[in-house]
Amino acid sequence: MTNTLDRRLHAFRPDLADETLRDKVQAERFVSGQPAQVIVPVAALRPAPDPARGIDTELLIGETVRVFDRAEGWAWVQADEDGYVGYLPEAHIGPIEVPTHRIVVPRSFLYPEPELRKPHVGVLSLGSRIRIVGEAETRGNHYHVLADGTAVMSGHCRPVSESLQDYVTVATRFIETPYLWGGRSGIGIDCSGLTQLALMMTGQKFPRDTDMQAKMGTEITRDELRRGDLVFWKGHVGIMEDAETLLHANGHTMTVARENFEAAVKRIGWLYEQPTGYRRIL
């Protein structure tokens, strides 16, 4: 996904946000933003306070933002993870609670209590950050319990201090996840969202959009491609699973899929031409 509008406002450089926002916004009083946290499983970030507008990206439960304005049920925020700016419903954010765990499977159900036979109350994506206050067991199933009494399978979580080791392996967990423009979760995801989220799970901060991702790491040649390298087209990015296989969220299959790299280059070429670059993320 590509985003060339100023609404990113120095995305991936939160330290520049205050200065940039001050230049962009006319106000009698400017503050650096109040900290808040996403409190719903997935919050859509939009370019305007209008639910009919398309989404620019998504934020996961437990991710933090800075709030610069609140009006008519909407909040104008900047994501701490990558500096992205946009609008989300004010009801989707709340006070910060330091998370203890992250979801490490593509999707996990949130139950109203430690009982899998109860109707679930939410679906948490890989990368979601939650605060665990207790544990429970029901018929041999082990649960982590949150402060509000809801519960999630303990085997689907890891402490936030533990990063996964291989981002390509993380990306493969999204195989057959539906493609969603602006998506950044196990419910639906786009090409650059897949790359960013997979790298985030290994402890690496990475930009959200392809044009910024294409400037990261080290430039390599096509002949040097190996596992973990990124391939860029105009507005698209894929991850090399190995020297011959491309893994990417794409609008052709409308899923996260793997395909032969050379075949993908030919198929994509009629619309997006040849790859624009190859990067190795160290």
pLDDT digits (tens, 9 = 90+) for 112-145: 999 999 999 999 999 999 999 999 999 999 999 9
Is residue 62 assigned to a domain? yes
- Looking at the 3D structure of the chain, how many domains does it have? 3
Known active-site residue 252: no
Residues 52 and 90 in one domain: yes
Higher pLDDT, 128 or 12: 128
Catalytic residue among 92, 144, 156, 191: 191
pTM for the model? 0.89
Burial of 171 (0-12, 13-18, 19+ CB in 10 A): buried
Q: pLDDT value at position 272?
A: 82
Catalytic residue among 92, 101, 156, 236: 236
CATH of the domain at 150: 2.30.30.40
Q: pLDDT value at position 15?
A: 43
Known active-site residue 236: yes
Residues 175 and 270 in one domain: yes
How far is Cα 37 from Cα 187, in angstroms, rounded to an integer?
20
Residue 73 structural domain: 6-94
Average pLDDT, the chain: 91
Known active-site residue 191: yes
Q: pLDDT value at position 8?
A: 52
Q: Which of 23-37, 40-54, 125-139, 221-235 has the lowest mean pLDDT?
A: 23-37
Is residue 65 assigned to a domain? yes
Is residue 181 assigned to a domain? yes
Residues 246 and 264 in one domain: yes
Residues 174 and 89 in one domain: no
Selection from 232, 181, 171 nearest residue 1 by Cα:
181
Q: What confidence tier does 31 reach under pLDDT thresholds 50, 70, 90?
A: low
Q: pLDDT value at position 67?
A: 98
Q: Residue 21: is its pLDDT beyond 80?
A: no
CATH of the domain at 253: 3.90.1720.10
Catalytic residue among 101, 142, 248, 252: 248
